Structure 1
Amino acid sequence: MTLEPRRTWKERARQLKLELFALLLAYKDQRVPWYARLFIICLLGYAFSPIDLIPDFIPVLGYLDDLILLPLGIVLAIKLIPPVVLQESRVQAQEIINQGKPRSWGGALAIVLIWFLCAGVVALLFVRWWW
């Protein structure tokens, strides 16, 4: 038994991280169309959000969104971005990752605030429905 399959999975995970970071950099580029930017920001919000469409504790289906929906979303986002911008973003992402792990506290705070806002709206609707 070899460790080759494990290595390919790790490599795929690294590639997925690189692609997500490249999409973040491409999102900031003015040459990307508005509809692609909207799709990218929704995809990145979903990818980095702690809340999944299908919770991970549900057997088999829990990881289905992570294994199928996220890669499909990345493929679609890549097709929406001009090739020149995507290539520049990939090179820039690789350089930043090689320097150390990138952190975005502002991005993390924005995602947390969005989820709190959504939870507040749901709670408000529930209270209105209950009374």
Structure 2
Amino acid sequence: MRRFLSFLKLFRYDLIVLLTALRHRDTPRRIKAMLGLAVVYLVSPIDIIPDTVPLAGILDDMVIVPAAVCGLTNMLPSHVRREAEMKAERIARYMPLLMIGASLFILLWVGLFVYGAYCLLAYIVG
């Protein structure tokens, strides 16, 4: 389990590096396009192993997408990767605060949705 969590941390860092590198003007278009294809593969219902197959359907997404991110990060030009890693380190310092903020934001929206559904149901029933 510890090995899996360390892999997720490494994947998260590579993903931040790749996302910051996408904004750089010297990032090749093929890398941008291939990351777009990886995202489309992740959300697409058409997979190598369909998501309806228990465990194996999700497992292929868990293998292919991190492998694509790792490979694309290694394909970045050295100066782009260096700059992206410096920006990613700054972002990674604030990651716990960003996650707390995002969680609070999602909880607020869920609360508003539940409250709206309750008010709508009370209006329909009463």
State the secondary structure of the residue aligned to 1:59: coil
Determine whether 1:25 maps to 2:12: no
Identity of aligned residues (%): 19
1:3-58 CA-to-partner distances (Å, cap 9, x unmatched) read xxx222211111111111211111110111111121123334555x4968332x52
**Structure-2 change in CA distance of 1:95 and 1:50 (3 Å):** farther
Alignment of 1:80-91 (within 5 A): 80-91=75-86
**Structure-2 change in CA distance of 1:29 and 1:46 (3 Å):** farther
Counterpart of 1:60 in structure 2: which amino acid? L
Alignment of 1:1-131 (within 5 A): 6-44=1-39, 46=41, 49=43, 53=47, 54-55=50-51, 57-99=52-94, 100-101=97-98
Counterpart of 1:71 in structure 2: which amino acid? P
- Which structure has the larger Rg? 2
Which ranges in structure 2 are unaligned for 5 or more consecutive residues? 103-126
TM-score (norm 2): 0.60
Counterpart of 1:101 in structure 2: which amino acid? L
**Contact 2:17 2:73 survives alignment (8 Å):** no
**Structure-2 change in CA distance of 1:45 and 1:23 (3 Å):** farther
- Distance (whole Å) between structure 1 residues aligned to residue 45 and residue 5 of structure 2: 23
Where does structure 1 differ by over 3 angstroms across 4 or more consecutive aligned residues? 44-47, 49-54
Higher relative contact order (CA 8 A, sep 6+): 2
Counterpart of 1:89 in structure 2: which amino acid? A
**Contact 2:20 2:88 survives alignment (8 Å):** yes
